[in-house]
Structure 1
Amino acid sequence: MEPKLFGQYLREARNKKKLTLEKVAKSANLSKGYLSNIENGNRGIPSPDLLNKLSKPLGVSYSDLMLKAGYYDESMYKFTKDFEMYENEMETPLMQVLSLFIGGAGYINPEIRDELFLVLEDSMIGPDFARFNKEFRQYLINKQEAPDSISTDYEEDLYEEFDSLYNAKNLLIQFKDYVNESTKEQLLTVLTELAEKNNLGTRMNSAFLELTTLLSEPSITYNQKTLSQLDRQRILDMLELLFPNH
């Protein structure tokens, strides 16, 4: 986008919030004249750091500003929007407890999958979960009553599908969009007890609490495409702008 058009976009966002140049400039730690020049297209496209400062007072997400400014392509924009969408959910007590059961690549740790399934199955919404839950429930019964009837290939395929459904990203979506607050409170209680039972109470988990560790995983993917080192660095650069004080 040309500087003049981008400046007009910023002015429209400011006017929509009924804010003066002076108020936005003060919130972003800029001079009124500098911000005016940006809106008039006389300063070129603002830097990502400056866009981060303008995001909150203008009420426009950082990812939207970065896309409009031309710093993000559609793929990076989608990634950032996903991150912004679920950031608050990741910080809830429920997700913090659930993170104790998740490994660095975002999958439930193998040794706890069966127990965690029994806690979560009734809260998961959607036809894929409904079909899989029925099959996995029967598998657990057979595992107890007739373990010799289960082939290794079948078991491996079943757990592969388990990982495709019961992973960090899907659970975030489920808890944010489909699980009511009452159910969340019940799950928090049960998951806390399960974590204590398995001595997980003091564990820090990279799937939610340390993204730099997650990004070091060799096979990490996004939209089924392996992230390159450049992709990972772009993500880290974006996170540094989003959370400059972390």
Structure 2
Amino acid sequence: MSNELGSFLKELREKKDLSISDLAYASGVSGAQISRIETGKREQPRPETLQKLAQGLRISYGQLAEKAGYFDGMQQSDKQEFFAYHEANSNLDLVLSEMFNQVFKLDQETKLVIIKEVGVSGKFGEHDEDIIETINKNEAVNISPDFSDMSLLQKLYLIDILSRFVRYFAVDETYLEKLYEQIKTGKIPDPYESGRELVKSIDLSDDNIKEEFSIIVDGRPLTEKEMQKILAQIRLDRQFE
């Protein structure tokens, strides 16, 4: 079987003069796993793994996803939307990583001002704590894992706040403004629009549902037995409708 992803990954890594250890450090993916991918022992890694590798290599996630076969059979329009989203997301992650790596050098008083700005904005919801924790770090960061389910608009809002306190010139402001308009008008899809992935429907009878979602009632996750009871009661009620 073809090892298109592995060959591409190795060629790109060597072109950037990175050892496997270097890429492991930059991406957060273990050296052993990178080696398995490059040698074809792991032909289609999970999307999360590819996202980390793309971040470490400073390339678009879509490039690795295509080599891994995730686009096979996909309609061209869907592929274009996928590429548009992930290219925008990768670019924003790079900008945020660089900005946070300047924030950590700031004095504590300035960091407290940034934290206040984040809270007052009211735009980040459940991500407030992750942002504050990252601001307070005293070392270089890779933001991708912490903010992987933050929407594109939220990342743009965060860049706007941080740009008031750090100097960043690698991305043209015109590009960010254009990106904002494309997202708002739907030209670039934003699957985490509300801060988490939009789910239009969930089939509670799906046996794999508890592996994909945490279903919570009164602050406690439902057990398998409780799920079975709920489904049994619903099916019984429907018999008498």
Please report the TM-score for the alignment, with normalisation by the length of structure 1: 0.37
Please report the TM-score for the alignment, with normalisation by the length of structure 2: 0.37
Higher helix residue share: 1
- Higher RCO structure, 1 or 2 (CA under 8 Å, sep 6+): 1
